[in-house]
Amino acid sequence: MSRMTKQEKSWVFYDWANSAYSILITTAVFPLYFKAAATEAGLAGSTSTAYWGYANSFATLLISICAPVLGSIADFRGFKKRFFTFFFALGIIFTFLLAVVPSNQWLVLLICYMLTVIGFGGTNIFYDAFLVDVTTEERMNKISSRGFAMGYIGSTIPFIMGIALIILAQQSILPISVSVASQAAFAITALWWGLFTIPMLKNVNQVYYKERVPNPIANGFKQLFETFRKIRTYRPLFIFLIAYFFYIDGVNTIITMSTAYGSDLGIDSTNLLIILFATQVVAAPFAILYGKLADKFKGKTMLLVGISVYIIICIYAYFLKTVLDFWILAMLVATSQGGIQALSRSYFAKLVPKENANEFFGFYSIFYKFAAILGPFLVGLTAQMTGNTNSGVFSLVVLFVIGGVILLRVPEGNKISQSSSIPQ
């Protein structure tokens, strides 16, 4: 960290900041809290699960559709920071409200959660796009990887705090209910997210931009449609996005379905939380290692290495039987999970013109969000047809192979030219 500029450090610390939301609100605590609140209100388990799915789908769809439009507008001078701040404020305010809304108000909780999803997702569009503003092209692999590593490390601290409160409440060591302990975890999340975002708000500014024009919103829409019409002419970027869609779908599916997969193997919730914690810790140094190796062997090469590791993971999953096997699988995931995501971000950042980074990261966000559809469906279908969860995970090999083959076709050293390719 001492070798980074102030802007680089501030950007990296936002990964540290928003990691609390990712693990406590999205993954670990709030889903269980919502289910308990819905059950207390008399909703059947299947009904509350359906509402949970609808809420996530709608919020994700909304921010995905808006991403390239907002990105196109944010390319004009002064808009990127404003949009980042707006979505950050939206996310943190409604995350805090999760801590104060009564637990019996399941519908209000669900609405607040949807707004946190929109705030979190919207902020990340502009956060990723700020990578071109805070560092040089030569340092993008390193800085992007540092961001993911800091996120993994940072996520463990509020995670331990939140889970400790809940466990102490369960054991009646603290004179509070589990519901109150969960609300305290949500407050910790909001405070952590807000506190460590201050350096980003203070020190990071838009360096690359287009000068403002009359009616920037109308012009943003105009440029978006023109870019979308011509996107196939941006061959390196377009091929990369197609490859990214397939392999990141496999990555996301393994992340989102790992808990259910572990449960099917008979692993209890306590062990699953311990494995999740260990995965976060191990993933941090490997994310940094991927960044260093990418500078030596090129980002594309290391992306292919990461894809190869995931193919091994899917094959190994087919033979999974014991808790030890699941530990080995989790540690294999930890070696490449952060690295493949970090290098995808920096590789894409090198392909896009800096003045249009927001618009193109909007497309990047769409591919990332919609890449959460095919993988879970493939796993579910295969598992149902074969009656074997292991076969479902094994089926993800198809996504990684397709992604890797397409990635091989991305031309080397072809950055989009601002002057020749981007419509103004």
Given its phi and psi angles, is residue 353 left (phi above 0), alpha (psi -120 to 50 degrees) or beta?
Answer: beta
Position 367 pLDDT exceeds 90: no
Residue 44 has pLDDT above 50, yes or no: yes
In a domain, 378, yes or no: yes
For residue 1, is it within any domain? no
Question: What is the per-residue pLDDT for 419?
Answer: 36
Mean pLDDT, range 335-343, rounded to an integer: 90
Is residue 14 assigned to a domain?
A: yes
Flag whether 212 is in a domain.
Answer: yes
Whether 223 is in a domain gets the answer yes
| CATH number assigned to the domain comprising residue 401 | 1.20.1250.20
| Nearest Cα residue to 114 out of 97, 131, 130 | 97
Residue 423 has pLDDT above 50, yes or no: no
CB-neighbour burial class of residue 5 (10 A; exposed 0-12, middle 13-18, buried 19+): middle
Residue 76 is classified by DSSP as B
Query: Does some domain include residue 380?
Result: yes
24 — pLDDT class (breaks 50, 70, 90): confident
Residue 99 contacts residue 183 (beta carbons within 8 Å): yes
Q: What is the mean pLDDT of residues 298-322?
A: 90
Domain count, the chain: 1
Q: Where in 346-415 does DSSP place strands (E)?
A: none
Residue 136: domain span: 6-421
pLDDT tens-digit series, residues 141-196: 889 899 888 988 888 899 899 889 988 998 889 899 989 999 999 999 999 999 99
Q: Is residue 238 part of a domain?
A: yes
Q: Which residue has the higher pLDDT, 90 or 252?
A: 90
Q: Using pLDDT thresholds of 50, 70 and 90, give the confidence band for residue 414.
A: low
